[in-house]
Structure 1
Amino acid sequence: MSYFAVFLKMVDPEKSAAHRPEHLAFLARLRDEGIVFASGRFSDGSGGLVIYKADSLEAAEKWVSKDPYLIHGARRAEIHEWEMVTNAVLPQ
Protein backbone atom coordinates (compact mmCIF):
# COMPACT_ATOMS: atom_id res chain seq x y z
CA MET A 1 0.00 0.00 0.00
CA SER A 2 1.31 3.45 -0.95
CA TYR A 3 0.24 6.99 -0.13
CA PHE A 4 -0.56 9.55 -2.82
CA ALA A 5 -0.72 13.28 -2.13
CA VAL A 6 -3.30 14.98 -4.32
CA PHE A 7 -3.20 18.76 -4.54
CA LEU A 8 -6.62 20.03 -5.60
CA LYS A 9 -5.77 23.42 -7.07
CA MET A 10 -8.55 25.97 -7.26
CA VAL A 11 -9.84 26.61 -10.78
CA ASP A 12 -13.29 28.11 -10.22
CA PRO A 13 -14.25 29.32 -6.71
CA GLU A 14 -17.97 29.52 -7.57
CA LYS A 15 -18.07 25.94 -8.85
CA SER A 16 -16.03 24.87 -5.85
CA ALA A 17 -18.56 26.40 -3.45
CA ALA A 18 -21.48 24.87 -5.36
CA HIS A 19 -19.99 21.36 -5.34
CA ARG A 20 -18.39 21.42 -1.87
CA PRO A 21 -21.14 19.33 -0.18
CA GLU A 22 -20.85 16.65 -2.89
CA HIS A 23 -17.02 16.68 -2.64
CA LEU A 24 -17.11 16.37 1.17
CA ALA A 25 -19.59 13.48 0.99
CA PHE A 26 -17.34 11.75 -1.54
CA LEU A 27 -14.31 12.12 0.76
CA ALA A 28 -16.29 10.98 3.82
CA ARG A 29 -17.32 7.79 2.01
CA LEU A 30 -13.75 7.07 0.92
CA ARG A 31 -12.45 7.85 4.41
CA ASP A 32 -14.94 5.33 5.85
CA GLU A 33 -13.72 2.77 3.28
CA GLY A 34 -10.07 3.37 4.27
CA ILE A 35 -9.12 4.88 0.91
CA VAL A 36 -8.63 8.48 2.09
CA PHE A 37 -6.06 8.84 4.85
CA ALA A 38 -6.41 12.61 5.42
CA SER A 39 -7.77 15.71 3.74
CA GLY A 40 -8.18 19.43 4.24
CA ARG A 41 -8.34 22.81 2.58
CA PHE A 42 -5.58 25.39 2.40
CA SER A 43 -6.41 28.43 4.50
CA ASP A 44 -5.29 30.80 1.72
CA GLY A 45 -8.10 29.58 -0.58
CA SER A 46 -5.75 28.09 -3.17
CA GLY A 47 -7.25 24.62 -2.92
CA GLY A 48 -6.72 21.58 -0.74
CA LEU A 49 -4.88 18.34 -0.16
CA VAL A 50 -6.14 14.75 -0.05
CA ILE A 51 -3.93 11.82 0.91
CA TYR A 52 -5.13 8.60 -0.73
CA LYS A 53 -4.01 5.05 0.10
CA ALA A 54 -3.74 2.88 -3.00
CA ASP A 55 -1.79 -0.02 -4.47
CA SER A 56 -0.61 2.00 -7.48
CA LEU A 57 -0.64 5.42 -9.10
CA GLU A 58 -3.24 4.13 -11.54
CA ALA A 59 -5.53 3.07 -8.69
CA ALA A 60 -5.13 6.47 -7.03
CA GLU A 61 -5.86 8.24 -10.33
CA LYS A 62 -9.04 6.20 -10.69
CA TRP A 63 -10.33 7.40 -7.31
CA VAL A 64 -9.21 10.99 -7.88
CA SER A 65 -11.02 11.13 -11.24
CA LYS A 66 -14.32 10.48 -9.42
CA ASP A 67 -14.01 13.57 -7.20
CA PRO A 68 -16.96 15.91 -7.90
CA TYR A 69 -14.59 18.91 -7.88
CA LEU A 70 -12.77 17.48 -10.89
CA ILE A 71 -15.88 16.22 -12.65
CA HIS A 72 -17.43 19.71 -12.52
CA GLY A 73 -14.23 21.64 -13.34
CA ALA A 74 -13.95 23.35 -9.95
CA ARG A 75 -10.44 22.08 -9.24
CA ARG A 76 -7.43 20.60 -11.02
CA ALA A 77 -5.53 17.65 -9.51
CA GLU A 78 -1.79 17.16 -9.19
CA ILE A 79 -0.85 13.69 -7.88
CA HIS A 80 2.43 12.61 -6.30
CA GLU A 81 3.38 9.37 -4.60
CA TRP A 82 4.27 10.31 -1.04
CA GLU A 83 6.92 8.52 1.00
CA MET A 84 5.65 9.54 4.40
CA VAL A 85 8.07 9.89 7.33
CA THR A 86 6.43 10.22 10.71
CA ASN A 87 6.62 9.22 14.36
CA ALA A 88 2.85 9.52 14.64
CA VAL A 89 0.79 6.49 15.53
CA LEU A 90 -1.29 5.91 12.43
CA PRO A 91 -4.59 4.06 12.06
CA GLN A 92 -4.27 0.66 10.44
Structure 2
Amino acid sequence: MSYYAVLLPMKDEEKSRKYRPQHLAFLKQMRQEKKILMNGKFTDGSGGLVIYVADSFDQAVSYLQEDPYIKEGARDWEIHEWAMETDIAFDF
Protein backbone atom coordinates (compact mmCIF):
# COMPACT_ATOMS: atom_id res chain seq x y z
CA MET A 1 0.00 0.00 0.00
CA SER A 2 1.31 3.42 -0.96
CA TYR A 3 0.22 6.99 -0.30
CA TYR A 4 -0.39 9.61 -2.98
CA ALA A 5 -0.66 13.32 -2.25
CA VAL A 6 -3.04 15.10 -4.61
CA LEU A 7 -3.11 18.87 -4.84
CA LEU A 8 -6.43 20.22 -6.14
CA PRO A 9 -5.81 23.85 -7.13
CA MET A 10 -8.82 26.01 -7.91
CA LYS A 11 -9.77 25.99 -11.59
CA ASP A 12 -13.36 27.26 -11.61
CA GLU A 13 -14.81 28.83 -8.44
CA GLU A 14 -18.41 28.64 -9.66
CA LYS A 15 -18.14 24.92 -10.46
CA SER A 16 -16.36 24.36 -7.15
CA ARG A 17 -19.30 25.87 -5.27
CA LYS A 18 -21.83 23.97 -7.38
CA TYR A 19 -20.18 20.54 -6.99
CA ARG A 20 -18.92 20.94 -3.40
CA PRO A 21 -21.67 18.74 -1.85
CA GLN A 22 -20.94 15.91 -4.30
CA HIS A 23 -17.18 16.31 -3.77
CA LEU A 24 -17.55 16.16 0.01
CA ALA A 25 -19.81 13.09 -0.23
CA PHE A 26 -17.23 11.42 -2.49
CA LEU A 27 -14.43 12.16 -0.01
CA LYS A 28 -16.48 10.84 2.91
CA GLN A 29 -17.27 7.60 1.06
CA MET A 30 -13.63 7.14 0.05
CA ARG A 31 -12.49 7.68 3.67
CA GLN A 32 -15.02 5.08 4.82
CA GLU A 33 -13.63 2.68 2.21
CA LYS A 34 -10.10 3.49 3.48
CA LYS A 35 -9.06 4.74 0.04
CA ILE A 36 -8.37 8.20 1.45
CA LEU A 37 -6.21 8.71 4.52
CA MET A 38 -7.06 12.39 4.99
CA ASN A 39 -8.19 15.47 3.12
CA GLY A 40 -8.79 19.15 3.63
CA LYS A 41 -9.13 22.54 2.00
CA PHE A 42 -6.51 25.27 2.04
CA THR A 43 -7.64 28.11 4.28
CA ASP A 44 -6.72 30.70 1.65
CA GLY A 45 -9.34 29.28 -0.76
CA SER A 46 -6.76 28.22 -3.35
CA GLY A 47 -7.75 24.53 -3.36
CA GLY A 48 -7.18 21.47 -1.26
CA LEU A 49 -5.15 18.34 -0.56
CA VAL A 50 -6.19 14.68 -0.57
CA ILE A 51 -3.99 11.77 0.53
CA TYR A 52 -5.07 8.63 -1.32
CA VAL A 53 -4.16 5.09 -0.26
CA ALA A 54 -3.63 2.81 -3.25
CA ASP A 55 -1.68 -0.17 -4.55
CA SER A 56 -0.27 1.81 -7.48
CA PHE A 57 0.00 5.24 -9.06
CA ASP A 58 -2.54 4.21 -11.72
CA GLN A 59 -5.02 3.08 -9.08
CA ALA A 60 -4.67 6.39 -7.22
CA VAL A 61 -5.29 8.29 -10.46
CA SER A 62 -8.38 6.15 -11.14
CA TYR A 63 -9.74 7.06 -7.69
CA LEU A 64 -8.99 10.73 -8.31
CA GLN A 65 -10.77 10.71 -11.66
CA GLU A 66 -14.01 9.71 -9.90
CA ASP A 67 -14.00 12.92 -7.81
CA PRO A 68 -16.86 15.18 -8.98
CA TYR A 69 -14.49 18.17 -8.85
CA ILE A 70 -12.29 16.48 -11.48
CA LYS A 71 -15.15 15.04 -13.53
CA GLU A 72 -16.86 18.43 -13.76
CA GLY A 73 -13.72 20.51 -14.36
CA ALA A 74 -13.89 22.46 -11.09
CA ARG A 75 -10.29 21.74 -10.10
CA ASP A 76 -6.94 20.99 -11.67
CA TRP A 77 -4.84 18.26 -10.08
CA GLU A 78 -1.27 17.25 -9.39
CA ILE A 79 -0.35 13.89 -7.88
CA HIS A 80 2.84 12.66 -6.19
CA GLU A 81 3.67 9.41 -4.45
CA TRP A 82 4.25 10.34 -0.82
CA ALA A 83 6.67 8.58 1.54
CA MET A 84 4.76 9.30 4.72
CA GLU A 85 6.64 9.22 8.00
CA THR A 86 4.72 9.34 11.26
CA ASP A 87 4.61 7.91 14.76
CA ILE A 88 0.82 7.74 14.58
CA ALA A 89 -0.63 4.30 13.81
CA PHE A 90 -3.21 4.21 11.03
CA ASP A 91 -5.38 1.18 10.36
CA PHE A 92 -4.75 0.77 6.61
Normalised TM-score (structure 1): 0.96
Residue aligning to 1:91: 91
Identity of counterpart residues, as a percentage?
A: 52
- RMSD between superposed Cα atoms in Å: 0.8
5+ long unaligned stretches in structure 2 = none
Letter in 2 for 1:67: D
Rounded to whole Å, the distance in 1 between the matches of 2:51 and 2:17 is 21
Which segments of 5 or more consecutive residues in structure 1 lack a partner in the other structure?
none
Query: 1:86 Cα shift?
Result: 1.1
Q: 1:76: Cα distance to partner?
A: 0.7
Alpha-carbon separation, structure 2, partners of 1:30 and 1:86: 22
Shift of 1:70: 0.7
For 1:34, the equivalent position in structure 2 comes to: 34
Larger fraction in strand: 1
- Give the match for residue 59 of structure 1: 59
1:78 is matched by which residue type in structure 2?
E
- Corresponding residue number in structure 2 for 1:50: 50
1:14-70, Cα deviation, whole Å (9 max, x unpaired): 110110000000111111111010000000111000000000000000000111001
1:70 is matched with 70
